[in-house]
Structure 1
Amino acid sequence: MDLPISLPFAPMLAKAVKAMPEAGMLYEPKWDGFRCVVFRDGDEVELSSRGEKPLTRYFPELVEAVKRELPERCVVDGEIVMRRGARLDFDRLQQRIHPAASRIEKLSEETPASFVAFDLLALGDEAFLDDPLADRRARLVAELGGVEAPIHVTPASDAYATALRWFDEFEGAGLDGVIAKPLDRPYEPDKRAQFKVKHERTADCVVAGFRWHKSGPIVGSLLLGLYNDAGVLQHVGVAASFTMKRRAELVEELAPYRMEDFAGHPWEGWARQTEDTADRMPGAVSRWTGKKDLAWMALRPELVVEVAYDAMEGDRFRHTARFRRWRTDRRPETCTYEQLEEPVAYDLDHIFSGPHPKEA
């Protein structure tokens, strides 16, 4: 490829903040998908991930869309997303990372992905990394304002009140917060020079197991469960944000609840999973970790912990939960899905409609 920006390329990142920044910002929805920088030089197209790994083979339908909708020679930063009805569906998006080309081709037809552009980094022989975001945004809208699905330009606004409204409304469409980008800043690859404000809620969960840390005999993560309507304890995710000192302390705290084997444990069958079984359970091999050891230790499901989480994806936490405190006042059987807050529904089509009206 003969472009003014070359691969490998590490995109600009955002750091988490508790409150929405107010001054001199451009606000955008925080899309829940795979970060992707698109490189196009004529018929050559490369899709590069946040970790600088190629995504091109997994999304053939987007390669064709890029050739159809984007400028002949360009570099565009954005996000690959998948929708199901009026919401984004990250679970379905993850299924596209598959080793079999035939499977990828089948899914590309059955569940096509979309690409949401939010920054124009290069056009023709000119790179815009040193330009302020305000200028890059104007160029993005001018060059891509007329694109059609599955390529989209993210909505954006410099109004603080609009950002607060989006933070509340867009969650119902499967988005997970708002990104605030300083209007006067250049594009800074691999630096956390932007800000992300994400939803955070708490839930009381049953601790039914744990994994050892990769560095030795200390706790790596807690396996969390919630009871469904049928009274079955479902695995909903993990809590893993601990200091090394805290990980060592947890070994002692969990010791009284250790089980010698899986007999009688609610997740007994999951301990015997193999690479060919579902990757949603505690002991399964996932497509993201490959052969990484995901073996786990069973605990009697008697401990209750309060964790913070940002969103649900189906019946599981979307990301790793954060340990808040033990809840010795709660009985495990009271830890059900009913406690979880359900965001108000919002139609994704309203967000996919193009640039903010002020810019159109």
Structure 2
Amino acid sequence: MKLPVMPPVAPMLAKAVTALPEGDYSYEPKWDGFRSIIFRDGDELEIGSRNEKPMTRYFPELVDALKANLPQRCVVDGEIILISESGKRLDFEVLQQRIHPAASRVKLLAEKTPAAFVAFDLLALDDTGFMDRPYAERRSALEAALAHAAAPVYLTSRTTDPGTAQRWFSEFEGAGLDGIVAKPLTDPYQPGKRTMAKYKHERTADCVLAGYRVHKSGPDAVGSLLLGLYNADGELTNVGVAGAFSMARRRELFAELQPLVSDSADHPWTADKQDTGTRTPRNSEGSRWSGGKDLSFVPLRPERVVEVKYDHMEGERFRHTAQFLRWRPDRSPDSCTYSQLEEPVKFDLAEVLTAPAGT
């Protein structure tokens, strides 16, 4: 492989903002998948990742699709996504299952749950490097390069109108997207730097604290808090974790939570309840990109309520680690149900993938 831009390349990143910036920006959907930079030189193709390690072996079906739809020699930045069986929204949880060490499993998943690729930046084409050129020029060249691309390779939608971007922010969440990215039209491509802006949904929820995981530093510190919500059948369902504490706070939490430690077999997430269909910390994460991760936890009596901040849901659970806000002694655990969560407006993913390139 011999290209003007060679792997590995750290992708350009975005910093979080609380409102959409206005000015000379391109506004684009924030895709919920695996960030990837594609390097192609004829029959040679490598799928790079955010951590700069190749993911080529995990997506053999994409290798063929990218060769059929990308220029012979190019470097393209984008996102690997997985479209749900219904075709109406993204499914990140199933996408995570694609990262598997067994070649036979990779082959099976490539056939059963094929991925797609959404392109949104151009780093090189033929013998020309584009990284030092403004984004407006890179985007124009990318549109020309992918003018005849077809599914499962897409060109991301974009607009320069803040009003349209704000509407997308509200509508596209219903298709599984998690916000809007604003890209300065005059900026060059800057690997590893947060020169773009990401505007994401932020919400709060009152959850039942039902356990914790021990921190890797030792048994006297909390790694993460395990959160639950009661479903319509009255079962406590695992919805994710809250983390990102200072070490001092981790030790404070450990001491604070010891009186709640439960040895009771009646705890809703104990081992004998793993096969009941209720989402628990073990069966909800065992299928994720966890490898040999220790999924054990310390059960707590589900008596305390915690308010957390989250961005959006992926099925029944929080898509990302939630942020601890405060204890809620004024709330009873049985009031912590899914009914409190805001329902995003339903929106068909096909309308995002086939939207016009500019507005």
TM-score exceeds 0.5: yes
Contact 1:16 1:196 in 2 (8 A): yes
Contact 1:59 1:108 in 2 (8 A): yes
Contact 1:173 1:346 in 2 (8 A): yes
Specify the alignment match of 1:288 in structure 2. Answer: 289
Contact 1:239 1:307 in 2 (8 A): yes
Specify the alignment match of 2:224 in structure 1. Answer: 221
Asked if 1:310 corresponds to 2:336, the answer is no
Q: In the comparison of the two structures, how many residue pairs are matched?
A: 353
CA deviation map 1:81-120 (0-9, x unaligned): 0111211111111121122222222222222111000001
CA deviation map 1:205-226 (0-9, x unaligned): 0000011222232111100011
TM-score (structure 1 length as normaliser): 0.93
Contact 2:83 2:90 in 1 (8 A): yes
| d(CA) in 1 for partners of 2:2, 2:12 | 22
Contact 1:130 1:186 in 2 (8 A): yes
Asked if 1:187 corresponds to 2:189, the answer is yes
Contact 2:269 2:280 in 1 (8 A): no
| d(CA) in 1 for partners of 2:100, 2:57 | 10
Q: 1:289 to 1:93 in 2, by over 3 A?
A: closer
Matched residue SS, 1:66: helix
Specify the alignment match of 1:247 in structure 2. Answer: 250
Which one is further off, 345-354 or 199-208? 345-354
Specify the alignment match of 1:65 in structure 2. Answer: 65
**Unpaired segments of 5 or more residues in structure 2?**
none
Specify the alignment match of 1:331 in structure 2. Answer: 332
Structure 2 letter corresponding to 1:255 = Q
TM-score (structure 2 length as normaliser): 0.93
Matched residue SS, 2:48: strand
Specify the alignment match of 1:351 in structure 2. Answer: 352
Specify the alignment match of 1:108 in structure 2. Answer: 110
Matched residue SS, 1:254: helix
Matched residue SS, 1:255: helix
Residue 298 (structure 1) shift: 1.2
CA deviation map 1:171-195 (0-9, x unaligned): 0111000001111111010111111
Matched residue SS, 2:79: strand
Q: 1:284 to 1:312 in 2, by over 3 A?
A: closer
| d(CA) in 2 for partners of 1:68, 1:139 | 18
| d(CA) in 2 for partners of 1:18, 1:45 | 38
Asked if 1:56 corresponds to 2:56, the answer is yes
Specify the alignment match of 1:162 in structure 2. Answer: 164
Residue 284 (structure 1) shift: 6.0
Which of 206, 209, 220 aligns to 1:207? It is 209
| d(CA) in 2 for partners of 1:341, 1:113 | 29
Asked if 1:138 corresponds to 2:134, the answer is no
| d(CA) in 1 for partners of 2:34, 2:104 | 21
| d(CA) in 2 for partners of 1:293, 1:103 | 22
| d(CA) in 1 for partners of 2:91, 2:171 | 17
Residue 74 (structure 1) shift: 0.4
Specify the alignment match of 1:22 in structure 2. Answer: 22
What is the RMSD of the two structures over their aligned residues, measured on CA atoms? 1.9
Specify the alignment match of 1:198 in structure 2. Answer: 200
Structure 1 letter corresponding to 2:217 = S
Which of 119, 144, 147 aligns to 2:149? It is 147
Matched residue SS, 1:292: coil
| d(CA) in 1 for partners of 2:273, 2:2 | 51
Which one is further off, 55-64 or 264-273? 264-273
Asked if 1:256 corresponds to 2:259, the answer is yes
Contact 1:279 1:286 in 2 (8 A): no
Structure 2 letter corresponding to 1:213 = H
Contact 1:285 1:291 in 2 (8 A): no
| d(CA) in 1 for partners of 2:92, 2:201 | 16
Specify the alignment match of 1:38 in structure 2. Answer: 38
| d(CA) in 2 for partners of 1:153, 1:270 | 48
Query: Share of identical aligned residues, percent?
Result: 61
Q: 1:355 to 1:40 in 2, by over 3 A?
A: farther
Q: 1:292 to 1:105 in 2, by over 3 A?
A: closer
Specify the alignment match of 2:122 in structure 1. Answer: 120
